[in-house]
Every structure is written in structure tokens, then in C-alpha cells.
Amino acid sequence: MKHLIWISLIFAGIGLMACPAPQAEREIREYKGEHLDPFDRKYDNSIKGPQQVDIEQYRLRITGLVQTPQSLTYQEVLNLPNAKRAVTLYCVEGWDEHLLFEGVRLADLLALAKPKKGVQTVIFYAVDGYSSSLFYDDIIRLDILLAAKINGRVLDAQRGFPFQVVAESKLGYKWVKWVKEIELSDKPYKGYWEQRGFDNDADVK
């Protein structure tokens, strides 16, 4: 009987070794020799605070001047080719942070909807009612990303889960978080802060 107990314990141990407990995501703090700022931060400058998104109900809509409007699940977006890039976000408040963003190229995402001729502006709408826009030509020229991860970690509520615009070379108010809809337009668009006097180009000087 004792032998049977020992044999059971041995096989139980093998099973535990073969099926290790899942580990938390390890944050990347250096990329290609560049130091990265931390994922976690204490401050929040959104208009309504961090947003909680039910990913089972979530759909990313692509609307406006497109031939085939899209309504994509979180996973359908992530199924597009992966891209990553270390980029510095510059805020008008005077701070900046250098982070590794990982997600999909907006050019690939918009191609699914087949933009019509005459598109000039791409508008991003957030879950909290915030919005901003980028020129379509800038999105293509700068190869702008839509991020799902920062420093190897999936975005959380504060960081903009499920998706944040990585508006490289643009000031922070163009980096829309909690993106729920992308609209293509042939007209200029002023978002939340642009309507309050902020520059619509938002180029980092």
C-alpha cells in the first residue's frame, strides 16, 4: 500500500512539473539597447478616468467613407500581422515617456474596410466619449500603429484597453485610448481638445 502511495505522489509531481502554473506577463524594460519607461504609472489625465471594457461585447467598428464597414472582435483585430515599435509619447503638460508599443498597423486595419477615394481624415472615438483625428496621409506616411500591448504587457484599464492609437510624432492628445470606432472622412475634424483650442496638427516640435 505504501508503495502505491509513493508511486501516486511521484506521478503527481511529474504532472505538476509538466503543467506549470501560468506566470504573469514579464515587463520589457529595454528594447534594442534603449531604456523603456515603466508600464505602471500613478497619474491619469483622461476626461472621465480609466474605462472598463467588456471584451466579450466589444467590437471595433470601421465606418464612414469605406466600401465594406467593419465590426471586429478584439481577437479579429489581433489576427492581423503583428508590429512593434519603441516610440516616445510627448504630452503638452511637459512630460514624456519612451515605451515599446505592440499591436497592428492602422494601414492593415483600414485596408479591411477598403477606403473610398477622397478620404482625408481618420477619426478615433473612445469609449469615454473622447475623440481626436489624424490625417489619412500621416497614418500611411508614419505607419501609425494601434497598440494592444505596452512593454510586452496587455493594456489595462488605465493604459487604454483594448486599444490605443500610437500617434508617433504627434502630441499626446492624439493618442486616443479605449478606441471603439474609427471613421474615415473627407472633411477635417476637431476632437475633444482641438475644439478647446489645441492645434489640430499636433506635430511634436
Distance (Å, rounded) from C-alpha 61 to C-alpha 113?
Answer: 10
Average pLDDT of the segment spanning 38-46: 92
Distance (Å, rounded) from C-alpha 116 to C-alpha 65?
Answer: 5
Is CATH 1.10.357.10 the classification given to domain 30-37+46-190?
A: no
pLDDT beyond 60 at 14? no
**How does residue 25 score in pLDDT terms, banded at 50, 70 and 90?**
confident
Query: pTM score > 0.75 for this model?
Result: yes
pLDDT confidence of residue 23: 44
pLDDT confidence of residue 113: 98
User: Mean pLDDT, the chain, as a whole number?
Assistant: 90
> pLDDT per residue over 109-156, tens digit each?
999 999 999 999 999 999 999 999 999 999 999 999 999 999 999 999
pLDDT beyond 70 at 57? yes
pLDDT beyond 80 at 21? no
Smallest CA-to-CA distance from 61 within 163, 201, 167 is with 163
pLDDT beyond 90 at 107? yes
pLDDT confidence of residue 43: 86
Where along the chain do its domains lie? 30-37+46-190
**How does residue 42 score in pLDDT terms, banded at 50, 70 and 90?**
confident
pLDDT beyond 80 at 3? no
Smallest CA-to-CA distance from 179 within 155, 199, 200 is with 155
